[in-house]
Amino acid sequence: MIDLSAYKAIIFDMDGTLIDSMGAHMEAWKQTCESFGIPFDRDYMYGLGGVPTRKTVEILNEKHGSDHSPEDVALRKREVWETMDLIPSLIAETTEIFHHYRPKMQVAIGTGSERPHAEHLLNHHDLLNKLDAMVTASDVTHGKPHPETFLTAARLMNVKPEECVVFEDTDIGRQAAERAGMACFLVVDGKVKR
């Protein structure tokens, strides 16, 4: 088991870090992009994991010189996701860390997903009631790579940023953790890396 004794709290990203949902999100984005005529690049979109949906649309608009309504595209992506009716599985290694340290340390979620989506998935996996805090895209003004998500989670748990360790699966999430002054472990293909 990874040694996290130097910290007082753990903050997990959700999609792709604790729950294996990135593949389904990529499929939802692919269908959404097709609906709006937006070029879809799976690797590029995966790299935007953790960025709130509306902000992702703004980034895509800038990249492709388009002016799609972030609200309209976000609504379409949510509709596509909901019609997929998937409940992604937990990622074994990070779930084991969650359960190993939960009795001893505070645990939070810091996700770029909207609150209803996060609550649904975490409740399904019986994790929602085990959290000390949860910060979603619905709760912040600035999504990742801005540090607001992680700083808010630390504040809600009443711990200093430097007392937190973050688990993330994207470079954008890692940047957010580092900007918050927190240590970060990357999760790559379901395995924890330093």
Distance CA 58, CA 70 (A): 7
Residue whose C-alpha is closest to residue 160's, from 4, 11, 2: 11
Using the structure block, give the residue that is written with the tokens 């998935």.
121
End-to-end CA distance of the chain: 14
> Considering 13, 15, 139, 169, which one is annotated as catalytic?
13
Do the beta carbons of residue 71 and residue 58 sit within 8 Å?
no
With 0-12 CB in 10 A as exposed, 13-18 as middle and 19+ as buried, what is 96?
Answer: middle
Q: Is residue 139 flagged as an active site residue?
A: no
Catalytically active residues, by annotation: 13
